[in-house]
Every structure is written in C-alpha cells, then in structure tokens.
Amino acid sequence: MQTDYINSIKEYLKEHRDEILRDWETLVNMQGASREPEKVNQVICYLKSRLEEDGFTCKQIPVGSNADLLVASEGADRPGKPIIFGGHLDTVFPEGSFPENPFRLENDICYGPGVVDMKGGVVAAFYIAKILRELGCREHPLKFIFCGDEEIGHAGADTAELMTEEAKGALCAFNMETGRMDDHFTVGRKGGVDCHITIHGVGAHAGNAFYEGRNAIVEMAYKIPLLKDLSDPEKGVTVNAGVISGGTVSNAVPDCCKLELDIRYKKVSDMYQVMDDIRDICKRTFVEGTTTELTFLGAMPPMEESDGNYALLEHLNKTAEKCGLEKHEPIYVGGCSDASYFTLAGVPTVCSLGPKGSGSHTLEECGIVDTIFDRILLLSASVMEINSL
C-alpha cells in the first residue's frame, strides 16, 4: 500500500511537471517587496483565489500597514489535529530591482526574485495539497499560514501574534523556507532583534568651550564595552555593535552619537533578559548632561529546539528512505524565520523544506529545479504516513 501511494505521487509529478514550473514562474513574476504592501497583496489575492478554487476556506487578514496575512484551511471537520505549511510571499527586492517577468530557466536552474526565498516553497505546498486530495488523505486538516512581511520581521504589524495564535493546537508545522544546499533540515534557529541607541549630548567648540560641551561619543564609548559583555557563548547570546555614527568635525564636541546593535539568542527567556540588560545599561549615565534613547526593532523569538522537532525530522527521514531519497541531517542556524512562531505556539516544526537554492537576497538568487519535486514527494508522503508525534 505504501509503495502504491508513493508511486502515485511520483506519477503525478511526472504528469504535472510543466504545470508546476509554470506556477512557479507565475509567482516569481508577481514581484512585491515587503514595503510595497499593495504589490504583495496582489500576490496574496492571486494565491487566495487559486486555493479557493481547490476547496480551501481562506481568510485574508489585515495586520496594519504591512501586507496581509493569508490563512487557508482544508478539511476543518477532519478528526486529527491540523498540519501547517508556513511561508511568506514578500521579497527583499523593491520595484525596479528586476525587469518585468524576470523568471528564467537555464540548465535546470531557475532564477528570479524570491525564486527560493520563498516562492518555490509556497508552490510546493500548493501542490502537496493537490496530491493529498487526489490520494484521499482525510485524517488531518491542512492549514496554510502565509504572510507578506517576513523580510522586515513584521515590524509595526500584528502578523507575529496572529501567526502564533493560528498555529496553536496543530500536530506539526512544515516551514517552506529556502532548502539548504547541504541538504540539512533546520530544527532550531536563533531569534534576533535590532537595537538602536542614540546618545544626545551638548555641542560646543572644542577649543573655546570644551568644558561646556557634553560629548555624546564618549558617553557611547562607555556603554559599548558593557553591551559587548552581554554576549554569552554558553547561552548562545550575541550582541554585535554593527553600525556607529557621530560627530561632524574634530574641533567640535559632538552632540549626537548613534549605535545599531544586532542581538541573537537561542531561548525566549534569554531574549527578554538581554533586552532588560540593555535597558539597564542605557539608564546609566557616565558623561553628565547626556541623555540616551533606546529602540528595539523587529524582535523575533527563536525557533527553539525540542524533542518534537527532532521527532518530526525522524519521521521525515523514515519517509525519505521509503521514497528513495537521501536522509537529512539536523542543523541549528543563526538566521531567523517564521518557524519561530510555530514553535512558540508549542508546535513541532522543521524548517528549510522548500526547494534547494542559493543567492537569497541577491540578484543571483537561484533554485535547483529537480529539488522542488523531491520536496513535494517527501512532504506529501510524510503527511500520508503521519499519525502522532
């Protein structure tokens, strides 16, 4: 029986290969960067209509000034817990980055904005649902959670909270982010937050009124070592001073200094702790007469490792063997993704399940065509076999 449905999936992929590639091309050619919500919403509306044609019940949810959140469900009355496929439909490429209809296929490699980050994974999920419908999979509801503002960390929107709420109670989640070239599947990710610190001092002539000035750069210089010392290799916490600016000329006491920090962490508890520690440092004053402003931007929780994540990976690897595919090793990475919101909701999750590719966030972004079919096969078969984790 197992061989029968695996062979059926393989046959479906052969028969629909050109159709899958055309849909991949269509989605890539519908360009839209995170800060172009109208354009991203056009992509969301297109996918929503396609899913509704296939029997999904869809909600297009406003999240604020960013592009909407698309939640699509099929089989809500089925007895099992929902299985989630997660993804995003925005890219980092604003209008003008690429010409019209930029998708191209050369020697089994496809190119274009968001081709693997992550429109290929979205197309894969779309066809996984089609295959499961044909195979008569009726045990678990399917749920797609696709957003339009992942590349800006959902800043200024309610997306993160809505995604977490929508994920609660699911059996598992497959996040369809870019497939890694080393074939590893992601079971954990660091969370991250940007931190902007601005010191305001008092400007003055360095020769005639030096002692009347309040040097903002000196105040920042006192704070930077304290911020650096918040890094903790044992916990996986890093605080990186990445950008600094201040002053105008050497013969003036600078009245302003700005610092941008990148902060990473492996645990939600560490996220809150390091943010509190930074607040405490910024409350301290070393140069009398200076003041400090602090802003946290785009905080994303980590995708915490869990027994459930590893159990889901083990299930995928058992299924891969039955499908004649290679085993996938686990990996923990420093980059963020929306998989973090599924684990925050208590859902076992594996990430990096889209087609393999490279060059994400560059004009050379590309995907390996054959891998989209491997991922559709693997995940369709895995859902057919899944019972409990």
Mean pLDDT by 10 residues, the chain (389 residues): 83 98 98 97 98 97 97 96 97 95 96 98 98 94 97 93 98 98 97 96 97 98 98 97 97 98 96 97 98 93 96 97 96 94 97 97 97 98 84
How far is 87 from 118, CA to CA, in rounded Å?
Answer: 7
How far is 52 from 203, CA to CA, in rounded Å?
Answer: 62
Superfamily name with CATH number, domain 2-190+302-385: Zn peptidases (3.40.630.10)
- Burial class, 165, CB count within 10 angstroms (exposed 0-12 / middle 13-18 / buried 19+): exposed
How far is 85 from 377, CA to CA, in rounded Å?
Answer: 15
Predicted local confidence at residue 1, as pLDDT: 44
Predicted local confidence at residue 2, as pLDDT: 58
Predicted local confidence at residue 389, as pLDDT: 61
Listed in order, strand segments (DSSP E) in the chain are 57-61, 69-74, 83-88, 104-106, 109-111, 142-147, 172-175, 185-189, 191-200, 204-205, 238-246, 252-253, 256-265, 291-300, 330-333, 349-350, 357-358, 366-368
Q: Where in the chain is the domain with CATH 3.40.630.10?
A: 2-190+302-385
Name 263's Cβ contacts closer than 8 Å, sequence gap at least 6.
Answer: 192, 193, 194, 195, 237, 238, 239, 240, 274, 275, 278
Q: Where in the chain is the domain with CATH 3.30.70.360?
A: 191-300
Give the count of beta carbons closer than 10 Å to the beta carbon of residue 382: 24
Angle at 95 between CA 89 and CA 100, to 5 degrees: 90
Class level of CATH domain 191-300: alpha beta
* pTM > 0.95: no
